[in-house]
Amino acid sequence: MVTVFGAYGHTGRFVVTELRERGFVPILAGRDADKLKALAYETGLEARPASVDDPGSLDRALAGAAAVINTAGPFATTGGPVIEAALRAGIPYLDVAAEIEANADTFAHFGERARAAGAVIVPAMAFYGGLGDLLATAAMGEWTSADEAHVAYALSSWHPTAGTRASGVISRERRDGRRVRFANGRLEYRDDPSPTLEWSFPEPVGPRDVIGEFTMADVVTVPSHLSIPEVRTYMTVEAAKDVVSADAPAPAPADESGRSAQTFLVDVVVRSGSDERRAVATGQDIYAITAPLVVEAVERVLSGRTKAVGVVSAGEIFDAPDFLRALSAHLTVDLRK
């Protein structure tokens, strides 16, 4: 059994489906008893209402589970309490947080305790944060350090969920109107506007205008285990506009699995001196792809196919090339050395 906290959310539902397809029994958890009941009715699964303000309810939600996946964001609110519950239960915790500061907090607040307890906590095990880290780690090959890592996102569009919007609001509040980037080995807050530049994506996308320093969770996950002082992320201009637009619709299902028509290409380049290595992934729907990413991770953690304990990102705890190969039904990956 694997508890999914936030099970009735957009991403939570994809995760519940993916768990079932792989033979796990999801326990549906979340704060809204009615929404949980509706999902339990639809799926025949057990529902356990739980609130981050009530540790006892979280303990009941995790009782008997082998692991917990947290898909309820903003993670600035849900991360700490659900991690505490996982540590009390002695089970692995994985989440899909895209919030930079919330992910940084998970490393900072729980790193030592988790390591000492031999516990496994994997934040950002998702499209943003997890996939970029796996690609950067795979591209590095035997390199243990590099001068720069660049993660460039080409999304055909970005119709955000309510959870993405809410997480964006919390992150902006925490930054007090400033923007953040990762430079000189640390997060740096700045008042100047983000640069716009052209990025040469591999075909079929080709050259596109991108917002430079459109900073995503990869700036926390990648340098958490790779010695790279400059980690930059980029977003195609149209998608960057979509996600902040008040009129952008929510993602709409376009196939029988519920995926939207959105396509993505993630282009990762690592540089060391004059040497450059690249890893490219393409697929469909950034929310839907998060489910096989986090469920593959759970499966590997539960079967001991891991390389580290503590608070660990995808690239550190898993064999990155092997992990990416395992997702070939969902993701096309091209490693170029």
Q: Which residues bind ligand NAP (CB under 6 A)?
A: 6, 8-12, 30-32, 35, 52, 71-75, 77-78, 96, 98, 124, 126-129, 161-164, 167, 217, 286-287, 290
Indicate the residue type of 179. R
Contact present, 87 and 119 (Cβ < 8 Å): yes
Closer residue to ligand NAP in complex, CB, 213/285:
285
Tell me whether residue 34 or residue 191 sits nearer to ligand NAP (CB atom).
Answer: 34
> Which distant-in-sequence residues (6+ apart) come within 8 Å of 193 by Cβ?
none
CB of 233 to ligand NAP, least distance (A): 12
Query: Nearest distance from residue 65's CB to ligand NAP, in Å?
Result: 17
Nearer to ligand NAP, 128 or 201 (CB): 128
Residue closer to ligand NAP (CB basis): 287 or 323 = 287
What is the rounded CA–CA span in Å between residue 250 and residue 209?
24
What is the smallest separation between the CB atom of 172 and ligand NAP, expressed in angstroms?
Answer: 13
Q: Please report, for residues 100, 161, 290, the alpha-carbon distance to residue 259 in angstroms, rounded to integers and kept in the order given.
A: 25, 13, 11
Strands 120-122 and 310-311: parallel
CB-CB contact of 262 with 189 (8 Å): no
Q: How far apart are CA 82 and CA 7, in angstroms?
A: 14
* Length of the chain in terms of residues written: 337
Alpha helical stretches, state H, the chain: 10-21, 33-43, 55-62, 75-89, 100-117, 132-140, 162-175, 218-225, 237-244, 290-302, 314-317, 320-326
CB of 21 vs ligand NAP, minimal distance in Å: 18
Is 217 in contact with 124 (CB distance < 8 Å)? yes
Instruction: Report yes or no: 37 and 49 within 8 Å, Cβ to Cβ.
Output: no
CB of 150 vs ligand NAP, minimal distance in Å: 18
Q: Output the smallest distance, CB 103 to ligand NAP, in A.
A: 9
Closer by beta carbon to ligand NAP, 157 or else 161: 161
Nearest residue (CB) to ligand NAP, 115 versus 179:
179
Judged by CB, which is closer to ligand NAP: 197, or 250?
250
